[in-house]
C-alpha cells in the first residue's frame, strides 16, 4: 500500500491536518517565525490566531500554551524584530553617525510593515527590548557629543523618533503600495487648478516625492539635522521661529 496515509478515502471540506500534532512540534520561536511571515505577507488586518494556527498545522488553542494571548504574541513578535536591529558602524562625525543610525532604524521599520503598525499603535506601556533601549541611548550619546545641552538632546531625540515613525508609516501605507500611488496620481490630476493652484502646479514634484519614499525620509532627516546642528553651535536652547 502507498505510504501516503490511507484512512480517509477523499478529503472533505475539513482542513488538511488529520491527526494530533506530535508532542514537540511547537515552540515559541516557531510560532513567532510563522506569525512574522504571515504578518509580512498578508498584513496585520488579515492576521488571526486561527489563521496562524492553521498555518502551523495545529489547533488554535495550542498557541495559548506558549503565549497568554494575542497581545503577548504581538509584543513578542515586535521584540523579535527590534532585537534584529544592528547599529551601523561608527564612522565619521557625530552628525553623520546620527544620520546613519536614524536611517537604519527607518529601514528596520519599513522592512516590517505590520510590526511598524503594532509599534505605532502601542501605548508605550510595555517594556522594550534591550536593543531598542541601547539604540536610544546611542542616539542620545551622539547628540550630547555634538554639544547639545541636556534638554536639547532629549527633545531633539523626540523629534527624530516622531519623524521616523511618521515617515515609515507613510511609506508603508502609501509609498510602497502601487494602488495607493495610482490613486494619488489620479486624485492630484483631477484637482481643479483654479482652486488649488500650487498643488496642481507642483503635481509632478509631489508625485515624485511620494514615489521615492526612502529619499523623502533622508531629505526630511537632513532638514531636522540642519536644525540640530544650529542648536549645537549655540550656547543656550533656542530654536524659536522669529
Partner DNA sequence: ACCTGAACACCGTTCAAGT
Does residue 59 touch DNA according to CB under 7 A? yes
Nearest to DNA of 11, 61 (CB atom): 61
Q: Which does 64 bind (CB under 5 to 8 A by kind): a copy of itself, DNA, none?
A: DNA
Residue among 33, 34, 55, 70 that touches DNA (CB under 7 A):
70
Phi-psi group of 126: left, alpha or beta (phi > 0 → left; psi -120 to 50 → alpha; rest → beta): beta
Of residues 8, 61, 190, 236, which one binds DNA by CB under 7 A?
61
From the list 36, 44, 51, 76, which residue makes contact with DNA (rule: CB under 7 A)? 51
Toward DNA, which CB reaches closer, 51 or 169? 51
Task: Give, as ranges, the residues between 146 and 205 that touch a copy of itself (CB under 8 A).
Answer: 150-151, 153-159, 161-167, 169-170, 173-174, 177, 179-180, 183-184, 187, 191, 195-199, 201-202, 205
**Kindly report the CA angle at 221 between 219 and 224, in degrees rounded to 5?**
115
Q: What angle do CA 35, 36, 39 make, to 5 degrees?
A: 85
CA distance 102 to 239: 21
Site for DNA in 23-42 (CB under 7 A): 23-26
Of 13, 50, 14, 17, residue with least CA distance to 34: 50
Q: How far is CA 25 from the centre of its chain?
A: 30
Q: Comparing C-alpha atoms, which of 37, 78, 70, 69 is closest to residue 56?
A: 37
Instruction: Return contacts of 10-18, CB within 8 angstroms, 24+ apart.
Output: 15/54, 16/57, 17/54, 17/57, 17/58
Instruction: Quote the cell numbers at residue 70.
Output: 494575542
78 binds a copy of itself (CB under 8 A): no
> Measured between alpha carbons, how far is 22 from 119 in angstroms, rounded to an integer?
34
- Contact map string, positions 101 to 140, toward a copy of itself, x by CB under 8 A: ----------------x--xxxxxxxxx-x--xx-xx--x
Task: Considering the complex, state which of residue 56 and residue 119 has its C-beta at the smaller distance from a copy of itself.
Answer: 119
List interacting residues with DNA (CB under 7 A): 17, 20-26, 47-51, 53, 58-62, 64-66, 69-71
Amino acid at each position: 500500500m502507498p505510504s501516503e496515509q490511507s484512512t480517509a478515502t477523499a478529503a472533505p471540506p475539513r482542513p488538511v491536518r488529520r491527526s494530533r500534532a506530535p508532542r514537540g512540534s511547537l515552540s515559541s520561536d516557531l510560532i513567532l517565525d510563522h506569525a512574522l511571515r504571515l504578518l509580512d505577507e498578508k498584513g496585520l488586518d488579515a492576521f488571526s490566531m486561527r489563521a496562524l494556527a492553521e498555518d502551523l498545522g495545529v489547533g488554535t488553542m495550542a498557541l495559548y500554551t506558549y503565549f497568554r494571548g494575542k497581545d503577548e504574541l504581538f509584543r513578542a513578535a515586535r521584540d523579535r524584530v527590534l532585537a534584529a536591529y544592528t547599529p551601523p558602524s561608527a564612522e565619521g562625525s557625530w552628525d553623520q553617525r546620527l544620520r546613519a543610525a536614524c536611517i537604519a532604524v527607518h529601514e528596520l521599520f519599513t522592512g516590517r510593515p505590520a510590526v511598524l503598525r503594532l509599534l505605532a499603535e502601542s501605548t508605550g506601556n510595555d517594556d522594550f527590548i534591550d536593543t531598542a533601549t541601547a539604540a536610544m541611548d546611542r542616539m542620545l550619546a551622539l547628540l550630547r557629543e555634538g554639544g547639545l545641552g541636556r534638554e536639547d538632546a532629549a527633545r531633539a531625540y523626540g523629534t527624530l523618533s516622531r519623524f521616523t515613525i511618521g515617515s515609515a508609516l507613510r511609506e508603508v501605507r502609501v509609498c510602497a503600495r502601487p494602488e495607493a500611488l495610482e490613486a494619488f496620481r489620479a486624485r492630484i490630476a483631477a484637482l481643479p487648478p483654479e482652486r488649488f493652484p500650487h498643488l496642481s502646479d507642483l503635481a509632478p514634484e509631489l508625485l515624485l516625492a511620494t514615489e521615492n519614499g526612502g529619499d523623502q525620509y533622508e531629505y526630511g532627516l537632513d532638514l531636522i539635522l540642519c536644525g540640530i546642528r544650529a542648536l549645537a553651535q549655540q550656547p543656550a536652547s533656542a530654536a524659536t521661529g522669529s
